Amino acid sequence: MQTELKQTLLNAAHEAGQVIRHYFQGNFSVSNKEGINNLVTEVDTKAEAKIIEIIKTSFPDHDIISEEAGELSQVSPYRWIIDPIDGTVNFAHGIPICCVSIGLSFHGEMIMGAVFNPIMNELFFAEKGKGAQLNGQPISVSEKSDFRKACLVTGFPYKWPETKEHPIRVFERFILEGLPVRRLGSAAIDLCWVACGRFDGFWEYNLNPWDIAAGYLIVTEAGGRVTDFKGENYSVYDRQTLATNGLIHQEMLDLIADHSN
Domain CATH for 155: 3.40.190.80
Mean pLDDT value across residues 110-122: 98
- Residue 211 annotated among the catalytic residues of the structure: yes
**b/e string for 162-200 if b means 16 or more Cβ within 10 A?**
ebeeebeebbeebeeeebebeebbbbbbbbbbbbbbbbb
Do 151 and 135 share a domain, yes or no? Answer: no
pLDDT at 260 over 50: no
Lowest mean pLDDT among 56-65, 80-89, 250-259: 250-259
| CA triple 236-237-242, angle to 5 deg | 55
14 and 107, same domain (yes or no)? yes
State yes or no: pLDDT of 70 exceeds 80: no
Percent of the chain past pLDDT 70, that is, above it, reads 93
Residue 79's domain is classified under what CATH number? 3.30.540.10
More confident residue, 167 or 149: 149
Instruction: Evaluate whether residue 40 is within a structural domain.
Output: yes
Residue closest to 188 by CA, chosen among 102, 110, 249, 118? 102
- Whether 73 has a pLDDT exceeding 90, the answer reads no
Let me know how long the chain is. Answer: 261
- Structural domain includes residue 101: yes
Q: Report the percentage of the chain scoring pLDDT > 90.
A: 80
Give me the catalytic one of 48, 67, 190, 200. 67
**Residue 49: inside a domain, yes or no?**
yes
Among residues 107, 139, 171, the one where a domain terminates is: 139
Q: Assess whether 34 and 65 both reside in one domain.
A: yes
Question: Do 135 and 7 share a domain, yes or no?
Answer: yes
> Per the residue annotation, which of 8, 41, 88, 241 is the catalytic one?
88
Parallel, antiparallel, or unpaired for β 63-66 and 78-86? parallel
Q: Is residue 228 in a domain?
A: yes
Q: What is the mean pLDDT of the chain?
A: 92
For the chain, what is the domain count?
A: 2
- Cα–Cα distance, 14 to 100 (Å, whole number): 8
pLDDT band at 68 (very low <50, low <70, confident <90, very high): confident
Q: Is 86 a catalytic residue?
A: yes
Whole-number pLDDT of residue 35? 56
168 shares its domain with 212:
yes
Question: How far is 38 from 20, CA to CA, in rounded Å?
Answer: 18
Catalytic residue among 20, 64, 81, 85: 85
Q: Among residues 109, 139, 169, which one ends one of the domains?
A: 139
**Sorting pLDDT into bands at 50, 70 and 90, what band is 165?**
low
Would you say residue 228 has pLDDT above 80?
yes
**pLDDT value, residue 74:** 73
Kindly state whether residue 261 falls inside one of the protein's structural domains: no
The residue out of 139, 161, 194 marking a domain boundary is 139
| Domain with 247 in it | 147-256
CA distance 248 to 225: 10
Which of 16-20, 26-30, 180-184 has the least mean pLDDT?
26-30
pLDDT for position 75: 85
Residue 88 bears catalytic tag = yes
Q: What are the tens digits of pLDDT across the range 169-193?
A: 899 999 999 999 999 999 999 999 9
244 is catalytic: no
Task: Tell me which of 48, 68, 200, 211 is the catalytic residue.
Answer: 211
| 71, 15: one domain | yes
Does 83 qualify as catalytic in the annotation? yes
126 lies in the same domain as 151: no
Cβ 214 vs Cβ 113: under 8 Å:
yes
**Catalytic pick among 83, 127, 190, 221:** 83
Given a cut of 60, is residue 58 above it in pLDDT?
A: yes
Q: Domain for residue 126, yes or no?
A: yes
What was the pLDDT predicted at 34?
Answer: 60
Are residues 86 and 17 part of one domain?
A: yes
Residues 33 and 127 occupy one common structural domain = yes
- The reply to whether the predicted model has a pTM over 0.85 is yes
**Looking at the structure, do residues 117 and 233 belong to the same domain, yes or no?**
no
Do 131 and 162 share a domain, yes or no? no
